[in-house]
């Protein structure tokens, strides 16, 4: 019996060593894949995500992993691959292939270069979200190479169009390929991750988000020649209405999910903010606190109220023609429990009766529970890799992601990326010089692989 036990132990050690050897190259490969992925032009519009899907498909071909690609419209590619496991609810690793435009005149590198400079990989999508896609990919390959028996299916999925609402990507798949999600219980997507603030590491796992409410507001008036003065025109009506909106205070409201998030961060912020974060609802009632929060942390300020950003304007197509119609588009973000009709009534009162308001896009509220085994695995693995992390907390985000499509199906979706990014670099998301460190990419592979192993192996 002792001989048999010794043989079994030796076999287990050998198997573990072999599994380790099969994944040793993945951090280096991930950096190479990251650079190459950033060079694939998937700027949306037009998207052309099929190019990104084919890039990922070539890696699956090399690894001998079956996959499927589907185009929701010409060029709008989506790809997924699945490792089959037991009967536990499946897990989807989700990221989007498309990226927003970037103006090369304001970048230090070509936005599509994938250049490594001073230990950082530069490129549009370096944070949003090709980096998380590569971390998912490398961890998925590591799980495949291990040959381990899984307790659930694990699906790698890369989709189109998230930056424009996801209707050619995750939303299209939910509607047209619902069988893909029949056995799925969990999704890990973008939306959270670690931030280094003055040496303090804060890690957020997104469980809900503000609701995007995109609106088009329109004013009308008499057309005419630019040389002929008028008392009021469509343009002046619109400008006056937008001026009132700019001065309007929607008022603060700290909902329970945001209060829990802030309380979880209270120990990680500067001393002057610690008491405030422990009870932000009371703090914001004090004079000057809201203005200070806006100055010090605009993202957290946005979690305390409904907001509207004026992002697009249009009027005449000729400088000497006064237009019949002038319009603006507003990117409004509502708190998760906000009744949209009540919000529209408030907005209409600000803009005035002369301004028409049309809804371009809006989503339903949904929230995932943080009381799950997967959340605990994410938290435990994160603390193992980042022992200085002061907090791993469920969070609310001001931005929206594709997670809402899955929450609407009753699937638990978490926003989590396996990186810790300096607070200053967060501005690269949709901004200039988007970048991620080589160290982050390499370490992120290990973090994701540990999460997969901890959640999918018995």
Q: Is the pLDDT assigned to residue 4 strictly greater than 80?
A: no
> Where in the sequence is the domain holding 248, given as residue range(s)?
210-362
- Tokens representing 217 are 């507001």
**Res. 22 pLDDT band, cuts 50 70 90:** confident
Q: Is the pLDDT assigned to residue 208 strictly greater than 50?
A: yes
Q: Is the pLDDT assigned to residue 1 strictly greater than 90?
A: no
Over 390-444, what HEC string results?
Answer: EEEEEEEECCCCCHHHHHCCCCEEEECCCCEEEHHHHHHCCCCCCEEEHHHHHHH
For tokens 């329109």, name the residue: 218
420-422 and 321-322 beta bridge pairing: unpaired
At 6 the pLDDT is: 52
CATH number of the domain that 240 lies in? 3.30.70.360
Both 185 and 220 in one domain: the answer is: no
Q: Which one of 346, 362, 378 terminates a domain? A: 362
Both 253 and 333 in one domain: the answer is: yes
Tell me if 349 is assigned to some domain.
yes
Tell me if 181 is assigned to some domain.
yes
Both 288 and 331 in one domain: the answer is: yes
Both 172 and 32 in one domain: the answer is: yes
At 391 the pLDDT is: 79
The answer to whether 48 and 34 are in contact (CB under 8 A) is no
Q: Which range in 166-170, 198-202, 263-267, 423-427 is most confidently predicted, on average pLDDT? A: 166-170
Rounded to the nearest 5 degrees, what angle is found at the Cα of 152, between the Cα atoms of 146 and 157?
A: 80
Task: Tell me the chain's radius of gyration from C-alpha atoms.
Answer: 24
At 200 the pLDDT is: 80
The answer to whether 255 and 337 are in contact (CB under 8 A) is yes
The answer to whether 23 and 146 are in contact (CB under 8 A) is yes
Number of Cβ within 10 Å of residue 3's Cβ equals 7
Both 435 and 333 in one domain: the answer is: no
Tell me if 228 is assigned to some domain.
yes
Tell me if 197 is assigned to some domain.
no
Q: Is the pLDDT assigned to residue 415 strictly greater than 70?
A: yes
Tell me if 201 is assigned to some domain.
no
At 11 the pLDDT is: 43
The whole-angstrom separation of Cα 92 and Cα 341 is: 34
Burial of 330-358, coded b for 16+ CB within 10 Å and e otherwise, reads: bbbbbbbebebeebbeebeebbeeebeee
Mean pLDDT, the chain, whole residue set: 94
The answer to whether 96 and 159 are in contact (CB under 8 A) is yes
- Tokens representing 213 are 């409410």
Tell me if 15 is assigned to some domain.
no
Number of Cβ within 10 Å of residue 311's Cβ equals 10
Both 178 and 217 in one domain: the answer is: no
Percent of the chain clearing pLDDT 70 (strictly above): 95
pLDDT digits (tens, 9 = 90+) for 291-345: 999 999 999 999 999 999 999 999 999 999 999 999 999 999 999 999 999 999 9
The answer to whether 418 and 450 are in contact (CB under 8 A) is no
Q: Which one of 298, 332, 362 terminates a domain? A: 362
pLDDT digits (tens, 9 = 90+) for 249-266: 999 999 999 999 999 999
At 18 the pLDDT is: 46
Cut 0.85: pTM above it: yes
Q: Distance from CA of residue 362 to its chain's centroid? A: 17
Tell me if 250 is assigned to some domain.
yes
At 20 the pLDDT is: 54
Q: Which one of 313, 345, 362 terminates a domain? A: 362
Both 220 and 160 in one domain: the answer is: no
Average pLDDT over residues 335-357: 96
At 423 the pLDDT is: 87
Which phi-psi region, left, alpha or beta, contains residue 114 (left: φ > 0; alpha: ψ -120 to 50)?
Answer: left
CATH number of the domain that 437 lies in? 3.40.630.10
The whole-angstrom separation of Cα 131 and Cα 418 is: 9
Paired strand residues for 197 = 200
- Of residues 415, 413, 410, 382, the one with CA closest to residue 398: 415
Average pLDDT over residues 96-123: 98
Both 82 and 171 in one domain: the answer is: yes
Both 46 and 172 in one domain: the answer is: yes
At 390 the pLDDT is: 66
At 21 the pLDDT is: 52
Q: Distance from CA of residue 447 to its chain's centroid? A: 18
Task: Indicate the number of domains in the chain.
Answer: 2
Both 150 and 267 in one domain: the answer is: no
Helices 373-385 & 438-456 angle (0-180, nearest 10)? 140
Both 64 and 122 in one domain: the answer is: yes
Tell me if 305 is assigned to some domain.
yes
The whole-angstrom separation of Cα 136 and Cα 158 is: 10
Both 237 and 337 in one domain: the answer is: yes
The sign of the torsion formed by the CA atoms of 29, 32, 38, 39 equals negative
- Tokens representing 365 are 């509220």
At 14 the pLDDT is: 46
């Amino acid at each position: 019996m002792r001989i048999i036990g010794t043989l079994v132990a030796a076999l287990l050690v050998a198997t573990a060593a072999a599994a380790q050897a099969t994944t040793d190259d993945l951090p280096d490969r991930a950096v190479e894949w990251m650079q190459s992925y950033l060079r694939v032009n998937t700027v949306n519009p037009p998207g052309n995500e099929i190019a990104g899907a084919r890039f990922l498909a070539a890696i699956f071909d090399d690894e001998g992993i079956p996959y499927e690609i589907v185009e929701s419209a010409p060029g709008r590619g989506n790809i997924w691959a699945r490792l089959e496991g037991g009967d536990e609810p499946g897990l989807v690793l989700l990221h989007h292939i498309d990226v927003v435009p970037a103006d090369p005149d304001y970048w230090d590198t070509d936005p599509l270069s994938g250049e490594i400079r001073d230990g950082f990989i530069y490129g549009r999508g370096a944070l949003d979200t090709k980096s998380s896609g590569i971390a998912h990919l490398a961890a998925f390959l590591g799980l495949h190479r291990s040959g381990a028996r899984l307790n659930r299916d694990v699906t790698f999925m890369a989709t189109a169009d998230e930056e424009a609402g996801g209707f050619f990507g995750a939303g299209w798949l939910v509607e047209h390929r619902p069988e893909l999600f029949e056995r799925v219980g969990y999704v890990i997507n973008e939306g959270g991750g670690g931030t280094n603030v003055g040496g303090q590491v804060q890690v957020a796992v997104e469980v809900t988000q503000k609701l995007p409410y995109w609106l088009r507001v329109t004013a009308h008036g008499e057309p005419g020649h630019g040389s002929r003065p008028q008392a009021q025109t469509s343009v002046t009506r619109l400008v006056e209405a937008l001026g009132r909106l700019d001065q309007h205070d929607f008022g603060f409201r700290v909902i329970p999910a945001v209060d829990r998030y802030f309380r979880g961060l209270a120990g990680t912020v500067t001393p002057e903010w610690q008491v405030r974060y422990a009870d932000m609802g009371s703090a914001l009632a004090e004079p000057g606190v809201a203005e200070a929060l806006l100055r010090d942390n605009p993202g957290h300020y946005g979690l305390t109220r409904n907001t509207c950003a004026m992002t697009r304007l249009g009027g005449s197509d000729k400088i000497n023609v006064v237009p019949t119609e002038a319009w603006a588009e507003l990117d409004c973000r509502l708190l998760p429990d906000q009744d949209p009709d009540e919000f529209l009534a408030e907005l209409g009162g600000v803009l005035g009766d002369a301004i028409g308001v049309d809804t371009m896009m809006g989503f339903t509220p949904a929230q995932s529970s943080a009381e799950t085994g997967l959340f605990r695995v994410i938290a435990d693995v994160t603390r193992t890799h980042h022992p200085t992390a002061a907090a791993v907390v469920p969070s609310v985000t001001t931005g929206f992601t594709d997670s809402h499509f899955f929450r609407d199906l009753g699937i638990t979706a978490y926003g989590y990326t396996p990186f810790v990014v300096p607070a200053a670099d967060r501005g690269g998301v949709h901004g200039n010089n988007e970048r991620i460190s080589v160290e982050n990419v390499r370490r992120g592979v290990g973090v994701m692989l540990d999460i997969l192993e901890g959640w999918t192996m018995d």
